[in-house]
Structure 1
Amino acid sequence: MSKSYRIILSGGGTGGHIYPAIAIANELKTRYPDAEFLFVGAKDRMEMEKVPQAGFKIEGLWISGIQRELTLKNLMFPFKLISSLYEARKIIKKFKPDVVIGTGGFASGPLLQMATGKNIPSLIQEQNSFPGITNKLLSKKVQKICVAYDGLDRFFPKQKIIKTGNPVRQGLLDINSKTEEAKAFFKLVPEKKTLLVLGGSLGSKRINELIEKEIDYLQTRNVQIIWQCGKLYYDKYKINGNTKNVQVHAYLNNMDFAYAAADIIISRAGASSVSELCIVGKPVIFIPSPNVAEDHQTKNAMAIVKENAALLIQESDLDVDFENKFSQLIESKEKQNILSENIKKLALVNATKDIVDEVEKLLKS
């Protein structure tokens, strides 16, 4: 009989923090069917919807990040932090977890702060090549830090670091077997190249503007487009879906099919996206968001680009560089193959299992 462990996971704000936490929970559930799970997220963020959809309970804290400019939200931050620390302490006292796992996002800071203060075994899963301030502070208190990139001993205690990679959706591990099914699913034209455009789970204003502007150019390159614009932007851009060979989606629920159908991918460079794209192994053009803490998306993308495994265009250079770089890529099968082979070499396919191995060690210590 499996032991009935009690496990808290905290991560949210974006899909990049939520899906790794769900992947870890699912793997733990496989190993410990009798375990009890509780997620802790930030109220009004997408984890409050996505986690229950995945079959787990969640409680929300009143917490948000600090804005870069002076706003009313910033003035509220100290009150939110105090409230969240108080609520996190109550949750821990009531649930009595055997282990606490943080995958990033606003809520994981207060929760892990309180858990480590009670000497509860704790683990951080750091997805980025450049960690945020919360995880840097927590790294002194947690027992283990699972990372996806080399060189993080610049920020974290070296003896706590285990390089595991980032958890990804299991359906992505065998996408090459799904190509024909995926092309039929999206009703694609077999003789055209397929461009998959991803702006992250919430969508990207700048990437959406780019694609709308470049539709005519892309048609001249004999390209069909699967365009995930994000639910915030769907009403604005869905009209482009009436254009021949352009499909506009608010959100792609069949990501394995989307990746399988693609010949070239344009994507943001959030940590989970980068990890998935390494496993998918298709030629990628990264357009990192410049509006994230520590400019970590550019750093994530650069870690891939320096291995000659992807292309990078900064938002500020899109108007002058996009058509030139895209043309060079679409016209060169050799360039596509080189990027594809090199990005596959960077994939860490056993990340979820390796992270859960570390969690198990904490549970049994």
Structure 2
Amino acid sequence: MSNRIIIAGGGTGGHIFPAIAIANAIRQQQPDTQFLFVGAKGKMEMERVPQAGYDIKGIDIAGFNRSSLFKNLSLPFKLIKSFFQVRSIISGFKPDAVIGVGGYSSFPVLRVAQQRNIPTFIHESNSFAGKSNILLGKKAVRVFVASEGMEKFFPAGKLQITGNPVRKSIAGADISRAEALAFFGLAENKKTILVVGGSLGARSINEAISSHVRDLATLNLQLIWQTGKTGAQAYKHRGDAISNIWVNDFIVEMEKGYAAADVVISRAGAMAVSELCVVKKPTVFVPYPFAAEDHQTMNAKYLVDKEAALMVKDDEVKAKLFPAITQLAMDEAKQEKLRNNIARLAVTNADDVIATEVLAYIKKNTAS
């Protein structure tokens, strides 16, 4: 009889893409495994997971809204409703195991599974664990983490350092620079800057890029600009009319974005860092300053200290980002140094390690 696994979480690409990578790795090892994803209604997982070929059910849950306290009045009701929805989903699907990858929907799904003694696994991609995962980790079978020192958040005996799962489409990509540039309609004889501020966007980065779009051509540079959803229309309007710029709110085939890029501007979320290590790209990181415990700055600083990346602080972006990325684009020796050093930090098999561990536990659990 085939295994049945629920994967819960989402909200951002940093949660969704590792979840899909784990599912793909499990399916590679055991093709008849049945999956059901559970996500938050209205979030990007409801679109991205079906695109990857998996079923997903949405639940009514949302996070705390810091910008509008009024919108938080409905949160307790949404949480209660989500627990009823999750109980129904788990009763109907009858999973052998549940994997949580972070995001709003992870908490009720893993909580209900643990109440029913269904084995639960957690993947924590960041160096600073979220409160929900810390709480859920106490009863999880195993907590997969990206880095050392996570004993301050989780029981030491449950920890396994695996690194972060990077999509096989990226880790195993075999796309030439020429092919990738043709996909974006850009020229082969110009240096290419890739800007990725995350699936929701990074306003400071986007505003800095927006103010310099006309300067790129004079420097013989071109741009692939993923704006994210926030403010996308204005940025598209700014860049669409310029021939050396490709602009959109999202790059579905990110492996082509990486293949086309000579240098990259990126936030320093855990998954962005993991992917950039794997694709070996010279990068200027702009850490999101409001991440919990400023962990994005910690992520970026770890690479900077190893001479594997450059960093510009968010409050210095307006003055320093464009000079930093254009200087890097012109300096091939610097690019080569960063490329070699970031490549040493790459982990390419995290998804396979997690898949092996989950399947082995299910087999042992069902046999006993």
Q: TM-score range by the shorter chain?
A: over 0.9
Structure 1 residues 209, 70: closer, same or farther in 2, change over 3 A?
closer
- Give the Cα–Cα distance (whole angstroms) in 1 for the partners of residues 186 and 60 of structure 2: 45
Q: Which residue of 2 aligns with 1:283?
A: 282
Q: How far 1:327 sits from its partner (Å)?
A: 4.4
- Does 2:256 match 1:252? no
TM-score by length of 2: 0.93
- Give the Cα–Cα distance (whole angstroms) in 1 for the partners of residues 12 and 170 of structure 2: 20
Structure 1 residues 46, 309: closer, same or farther in 2, change over 3 A?
same
Q: Which residue of 2 aligns with 1:267?
A: 266
On the 8 A contact 2:229/2:249 being kept in 1, the answer is yes
Q: Which residue of 2 aligns with 1:361?
A: 360
Q: How far 1:238 sits from its partner (Å)?
A: 2.0
- Give the Cα–Cα distance (whole angstroms) in 2 for the partners of residues 323 and 78 of structure 1: 44
Q: In structure 2, give the amino acid aligned to 1:137.
A: L
Question: What is the aligned counterpart of 2:39 among 16, 36, 41?
Answer: 41
Q: How far 1:154 sits from its partner (Å)?
A: 2.1
Q: In structure 1, give the amino acid aligned to 2:347.
A: L
Greater shift, 337-346 or 52-61, is seen at 52-61
Q: Which residue of 1 aligns with 2:22?
A: 24
Q: Which residue of 1 aligns with 2:114?
A: 116
TM-score by length of 1: 0.93
Q: How far 1:70 sits from its partner (Å)?
A: 5.7
Q: How far 1:108 sits from its partner (Å)?
A: 0.3
- Give the Cα–Cα distance (whole angstroms) in 2 for the partners of residues 9 and 343 of structure 1: 30
3-state DSSP of counterpart to 2:216: helix
Q: How far 1:53 sits from its partner (Å)?
A: 2.1
Q: How many residues align?
A: 363
Q: In structure 1, give the amino acid aligned to 2:167.
A: R
* Matched-pair identity in %: 49
3-state DSSP of counterpart to 1:191: coil
Q: Which residue of 2 aligns with 1:80?
A: 78
On the 8 A contact 2:204/2:317 being kept in 1, the answer is no
- Give the Cα–Cα distance (whole angstroms) in 2 for the partners of residues 60 and 242 of structure 1: 38
Q: Which residue of 1 aligns with 2:202?
A: 204
- Give the Cα–Cα distance (whole angstroms) in 1 for the partners of residues 26 and 226 of structure 2: 31
Structure 1 residues 35, 110: closer, same or farther in 2, change over 3 A?
same
- Give the Cα–Cα distance (whole angstroms) in 1 for the partners of residues 6 and 25 of structure 2: 14
Structure 1 residues 177, 100: closer, same or farther in 2, change over 3 A?
same
Q: In structure 1, give the amino acid aligned to 2:297.
A: T
On the 8 A contact 1:132/1:294 being kept in 2, the answer is no
Q: Which residue of 2 aligns with 1:105?
A: 103
Q: Which residue of 2 aligns with 1:184?
A: 182
3-state DSSP of counterpart to 1:104: coil
On the 8 A contact 1:175/1:259 being kept in 2, the answer is no
- Give the Cα–Cα distance (whole angstroms) in 2 for the partners of residues 224 and 114 of structure 1: 50
Q: Equivalent residues in 2 for 1:1-365 (5 A)?
A: 3-68=1-66, 71-175=69-173, 177-239=175-237, 240-365=239-364
Gaps of 5+ in 1: none
On the 8 A contact 2:18/2:164 being kept in 1, the answer is yes
- Give the Cα–Cα distance (whole angstroms) in 2 for the partners of residues 70 and 181 of structure 1: 45
Deviations 1:15-59 (A, max 9, x none): 111111111112222222222211111111111122222222211
- Give the Cα–Cα distance (whole angstroms) in 1 for the partners of residues 67 and 43 of structure 2: 21
Q: How far 1:87 sits from its partner (Å)?
A: 2.1
- Give the Cα–Cα distance (whole angstroms) in 1 for the partners of residues 47 and 242 of structure 2: 32
3-state DSSP of counterpart to 2:148: coil
Gaps of 5+ in 2: none
3-state DSSP of counterpart to 1:39: strand
On the 8 A contact 1:99/1:362 being kept in 2, the answer is no
Q: How far 1:69 sits from its partner (Å)?
A: 5.1
On the 8 A contact 1:99/1:120 being kept in 2, the answer is yes
Structure 1 residues 174, 87: closer, same or farther in 2, change over 3 A?
closer
Deviations 1:247-281 (A, max 9, x none): 21222122111111110000112222111111010
Deviations 1:292-345 (A, max 9, x none): 444332232223222221111121011232244334423432221121111111
